[in-house]
């Protein structure tokens, strides 16, 4: 059976932590592929810092040398808003014989009850949740059964990845760029070159 990992995000910009998580998920879950699913305009954000064309270009650059990574356009080729349950259902329909694993950080897992139709999502989708422990969320308060009162049965579909903790996010990278600080080693060289060539993130408030 094909096993697909789903890694969603704005990827604005894509960085080393995204790649580390995707690679560890690929290995630990014995995945056939990891699908990177860039968001158009996420429901919880009013805008993205760069255009979808720039984000796609950067994402293509960072996964170009990994045959196990692939981009899915499921959220950018249809009108929004895009909710995870709809995205997963489309991917499942496109891959009816695949087992799906939604890859997320511990902070996202904690916020699951605030998602759109979380109970319906786990009742109707062939989906497992792979949770990466992120800094500040590796303490005992992050438990796979922490949402049983709201999303019964979720713990039976969830598992914990042993991915290394990475301390920075895309927001941290953009903050450093706007302050003229180096982001070397935080993003792949091809992404940094693209950012500099396109003068991205320079005029942000």
Phi, psi torsion values for 193, nearest 5 degrees: -60, -40
DSSP 145-199: TTTTTTSTTGGGTEEEE-PPP----HHHHHHHHHTT---BTTB-HHHHHHHHHHT
For residue 121, the surrounding DSSP H or E stretch is helix 118-124
CB 151 within 8 A of CB 159: no
pLDDT at 130: 77
Greatest pairwise CA separation for the chain in angstroms: 50
* Of 181 and 136, more confident: 181
pLDDT, tens digit, for every residue of 92-144? 999 999 999 999 887 788 888 888 888 777 776 666 777 776 555 555 577 88
Given a cut of 80, is residue 12 above it in pLDDT? yes
What pLDDT digit, counting tens, does each position of 49-87 carry?
A: 889 999 999 999 999 999 999 999 999 988 777 788 889
CATH number of 2-167: 3.40.50.620
Question: Given its phi and psi angles, is residue 112 left (phi above 0), alpha (psi -120 to 50 degrees) or beta?
Answer: alpha
Per-residue exposure over 53-79, b if at least 16 CB sit within 10 Å of its own CB, e if not:
ebbbebbebbbeeeeebeebebbbeee
Question: pTM for this structure?
Answer: 0.88
Looking at residue 176, what is its pLDDT?
92
Task: Write the CA distances from 74 to 24, 32, 100, 146, integer angstroms.
Answer: 23, 19, 15, 30
| Residue for token pair 């939604």 | 102
Q: What is the pLDDT of residue 42?
A: 58
Q: What pLDDT is recorded for position 37?
A: 96
Strand partners, 131: 104, 160
């Amino acid at each position: 059976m094909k096993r697909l990992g789903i890694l969603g995000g704005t990827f604005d910009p894509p960085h080393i932590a995204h790649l580390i998580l995707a690679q560890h998920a690929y290995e630990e879950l014995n995945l056939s592929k990891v699908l990177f699913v860039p968001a158009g305009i996420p429901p919880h954000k009013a805008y993205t810092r760069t255009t979808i064309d720039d984000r796609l270009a950067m994402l293509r650059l960072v996964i170009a040398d990994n045959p196990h990574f692939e981009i899915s356009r499921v959220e950018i080729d249809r009108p929004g808003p895009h909710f995870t349950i709809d995205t997963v259902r489309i991917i499942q329909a496109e891959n009816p014989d695949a087992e799906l694993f939604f890859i997320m950080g511990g902070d996202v897992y904690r916020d699951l009850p605030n998602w759109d139709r979380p109970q319906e999502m786990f009742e109707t989708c062939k989906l497992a949740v792979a949770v990466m422990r992120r800094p500040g969320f590796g303490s005992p308060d992050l438990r796979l059964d922490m949402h049983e009162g709201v999303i019964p049965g979720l713990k039976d579909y969830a598992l914990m990845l042993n991915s290394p903790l990475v301390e920075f996010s895309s927001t941290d990278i953009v903050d450093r760029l706007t302050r003229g600080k180096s982001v070397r080693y935080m993003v792949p060289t091809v992404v940094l070159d693209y950012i500099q060539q396109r003068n991205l993130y320079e005029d942000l408030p």
